[in-house]
A and B are shown apart, each in its own frame.
Chain A
Amino acid sequence: MKPEEGEYLSGGKNGTIVNNSEEAFGFFSRGLTSDQETDFGIGNSFFRQSWITAPATATARDGLGPFFNAISCASCHFKDGRGRAPEYDGELGTGLLLRLSTSQQDVHGAYLPDPVYGGQLQDVAINGVDAEAAYTISYEYITEMYPDGSSAELRKPTYNIQGYNYGDMTSDLHVSPRVANQMIGMGLLEALSESTILAAEDITDADADGISGKANYVFDRTSNTIKLGRFGWKANQPTVRQQVAGAFSGDIGLTSSIFPKETFPSGFDGSTIISGGEPEVPDTVLDRVVLYSSTLAVPARRDYDTDEVLKGKQIFNNIACAKCHTPKFTTNNSYYIEANRNQEIRPYTDLLLHDMGEGLADHAPDFLADGNEWRTQPLWGIGLISVVNGHTYLLHDGRARNIEEAILWHGGEAENAKNEFKSLSKEERDQLIAFVQSL
């Protein structure tokens, strides 16, 4: 067995970096202009920098909060990598947050947030202000048996929000935990043509393969229109720019031109809070963090040409994993960052929503995504999360402790593929995992 031509170039010729170190997610793509390289460095500094309470002498980075989850992007996306759930109660900035929504929709189709606490539980606040609330996680352990008699242990989290400082939450509340994802390759996914993504849609499962695939359509705050959703665990953000601005707003409590309003729980007197500027993240900074987030290269494959991995790849295709984790796309030729154009990329996602079954359901609909649906997670870089972040936790809430557990959580449209995985011999399962690990 042989690898395909250029198979190791996960992010294409420009967007791939050959590096297996803990810095593996932190390099810029090839082909940037000199100015873009410089802006990348500046964006990196603001991504890493801790934001502080206003007013401060360092005016470039004040305006934190008043309510927030973390004081910097890198707190959760450590070294541009993946967050995890807190290991102990009160651990700060590890990269898990709770989204809050109700079953009521606004005119754009967005589900309304909790009337008191808003769309995200901000469990930290600046000095002198009480945080919104706190939460704890408990895990229930489930044994999953293989037909060959071996077994694996899965853990299912339950979240308990307590210590409400601004009154009760609505009884019509959906809570969706979300882990910070690695930052690599986002600009390459943004450079895919809509038609390329939509070609794989099969909402009614017309081909009767048990797998549908549905695009999310979400509100774009810049153009004031509905656009294809690409980013976030439910594809609820249309652009890197809105994703970044949304994170500044929800996660760090910083205003920008896209999210100009401070987020307070209702009943909180915001008049005493000093702003870090109007907006706190000026467009000159936002632009650079967006450029940074759009040009982080994807690490090249490791061991892509070994027998074990190549056998694993064959199994991956045979048991239909590749139907949603689409191996290969080519980016369009008009993307605003030239380096990202016309790249043959291997993200292993179709960017579409799929029903993943009751086991993974958060019952929190998000635009067109229902409570069982999730966007196919890109698999590129997955094998290096352990090197960059020192853990191997996967899925939207980090419940899976490794690739095997993540596969075993697949249900709904992926139920068949999971069952086929379980029916494989131990050796074949290991080959499949070795393949995923090589991505």
Chain B
Amino acid sequence: MKKLTLTKFALALGIMGVVSCNEDNDDKLSISKSAVIENYAEIVYQNYLDSYNDAVNLETVVNVFVSQPTEANFENAKSAWKQARESYGTTEAFRFVDGPIDDENGPEALINAWPLDENFIDYVEGVSDSGIINDLVNYPSITKQLLIDLNEDGGEKNISVGFHAIEFLLWGQDLTAPSEELAGLRPYTDFVDGGTADNQGRRRDYLSICAGLLTENLQYLVDAWAPGAAYRTYFTQELSEDEALKKMFNGAAILVYSELAIERVNVALFNQDQEDEHSCFSDNTHRDVRLNLQASINVYKGTYGNISGPSIADLVAEVNPELALEIQGVITDVVVKTDATLIPFDLAIAEGPESIEGAKVTAAKTAMQLFGSELSYAANSLGITLNEL
């Protein structure tokens, strides 16, 4: 396998300009770019639909718990949250390209904002009256609009809603050592009148509103990508084929190269801080990492769930079979290296970059970036220059 370096990646990205499409190339292709784009749009739609359905289930289960706050119902809510993360994790490759998820009206900040300062929401170790839930003076009633308005009010860490707010409400702070392999240990009685922690009713309202909002915001994305919907039509028919492909590449490449490898994996490793991992309360970060990686692979291979159609990989295989083979090798390698990192993730990073487990995390991070680089070569092979990293 040809050795590729990150410097080369940067050079490849140095070429700016409007995408030009190589007509000769197109003529040779037996797979049409439009079919690849259509297959992608179907994947996006199906993935958001699955995520929406899982969020509906989460909302239902949360509301069962809210009306009957028992330990069993609490555990069900946690399982439903983890289930909902599975389908959402692979949607993150649809981000970073000014699409419905994070354009001017995009709900990303209301769905998956992180990291959050838990004391913005509820009590934390040592401060029993902190957070919106315990602030009866400034926020006499917990309403949907209030929580929307407070999200990211005054800072990116002032997160009031979304997956990680729900996660914190269900698990609480993870105060145990990574070696104990325990997630947050919030007792379900925090939600029981007269139980632990004050303002249990407000906490129930808060949780229920957040679950409802998640459903609502995912519905918005399903509606944007549904067959015949305005954005889907724009993406599959009004954008030039190369512009659409460029967005597909960019989302996958930025996620795996930058957001996942650097922000979510390497920063946590450097800081050796449980708080800096993506799903820090539930110790579910290992799933986030693997699912985000899978997200970029899905876009490249044109596969998701039962869907398997014309893909970027197929296009690359036609114009540059050698490169396609090489990328397949890189994908196999990055999956192996990522799977080799310790579970839970806070245990993998606990001893820092120099440790045996830390080195495995670094190896996975480097492989992720190599995959990102390969995506840019793949784009170049189709006459597309990525320029958004």
**Chain A residues proximal to chain B, CB less than 8 Å:** 9, 13-14, 16-23, 27-28, 30-34, 37-38, 40-42, 44-45, 48-50, 58, 60, 70-72, 74-75, 78-79, 91-94, 387
Contact = CB atoms under 8 A, between A and B. Distances in A.
A45 B271 contact: yes
Secondary structure of the B contact surface, majority rule: loop
B227 to A, nearest CB: 25
Interface of B: 6-7, 10, 13-14, 16, 96-98, 102-104, 106, 109, 115, 117, 152, 154-157, 258, 262-263, 266-267, 270-271, 273, 275-276, 369, 387-389
Contact of A38 (B152, B262, B273): B262
Contacts of B267: 41-42, 44-45
B118 to A, nearest CB: 10
A183 to B, nearest CB: 13
Contact of B16 (A9, A22, A91): A9
B152 A78 contact: yes
Contacts of A48: 115, 156-157
Contact of A30 (B14, B96, B273, B369): B14
A78 B155 contact: yes
Contact of A41 (B6, B155, B263, B273): B263
Instruction: Give the one of B13, B14, B16, B387 with max A CB within 10 A.
Output: B16
- Tell me which of A17, A19, A32 has the highest count of chain B C-beta atoms within 10 A of its own C-beta: A19
A258 B157 CA distance: 27
A93 B155 contact: yes
Contacts of A13: 14, 16
A95 B388 CA distance: 28
Contacts of B387: 17-18, 30
A50 B266 contact: no
Contact of B266 (A31, A38, A94): A38
Contacts of B109: 22
Given A21-B97, A37-B6, 6 more contacts: A13-B16, A21-B106, A22-B106, A45-B263, A92-B154, A93-B155
A30 B389 contact: yes
Contacts of B389: 27-28, 30
B262 A20 contact: no
B235 to A, nearest CB: 15
Most chain A CB neighbours (cut-off 10 Å) among B7, B154, B266, B276: B154
A28 B106 CA distance: 22
A170 B157 CA distance: 37
B154 A45 contact: no
A16 B16 contact: yes
A75 B6 contact: no
Given A31-B14, A40-B262, A44-B263, A72 B273 contact: no
A31 B262 CA distance: 16
Contacts of A58: 273, 275
A387 B273 contact: no
A2 B266 CA distance: 44
A212 to B, nearest CB: 37
A13 B388 CA distance: 12
Given A21-B96, A30-B13, A38-B262, A94 B154 contact: yes
A9 B14 CA distance: 12
Contact of A23 (B96, B157, B266, B273): B96
A93 B153 CA distance: 9
A21 B10 contact: no
A22 B276 contact: no
A31 to B, nearest CB: 5
29 contacts: A14-B14, A18-B388, A21-B98, A21-B102, A21-B103, A23-B102, A30-B13, A31-B10, A31-B14, A32-B10, A33-B7, A34-B6, A34-B7, A37-B258, A37-B262, A38-B266, A48-B157, A49-B157, A50-B157, A58-B273, A58-B275, A60-B273, A71-B155, A74-B155, A74-B157, A75-B154, A78-B156, A92-B154, A387-B104
A76 to B, nearest CB: 8
Given A19-B388, A20-B98, A387-B104, A30 B152 contact: no
Contacts of B98: 19-21
Contacts of B6: 33-34, 37
A79 B157 CA distance: 11
Nearest to B369: A34
Nearest to B101: A21
Contacts of A18: 387-388
B388 A60 contact: no
A21 B101 CA distance: 10
A30 B273 CA distance: 29
A17 B109 CA distance: 21
A351 B324 CA distance: 49
Which of A32, A37, A71, A74 neighbours the largest number of chain B CB atoms within 10 Å of its CB? A37
Contacts of B266: 38, 41-42
Contacts of A41: 258, 262-263, 266-267
B138 to A, nearest CB: 9
B262 A50 contact: no
A11 B331 CA distance: 34
A165 to B, nearest CB: 21
Contacts of A38: 262, 266, 270
A22 B157 CA distance: 16
Contacts of B7: 33-34
B5 to A, nearest CB: 8
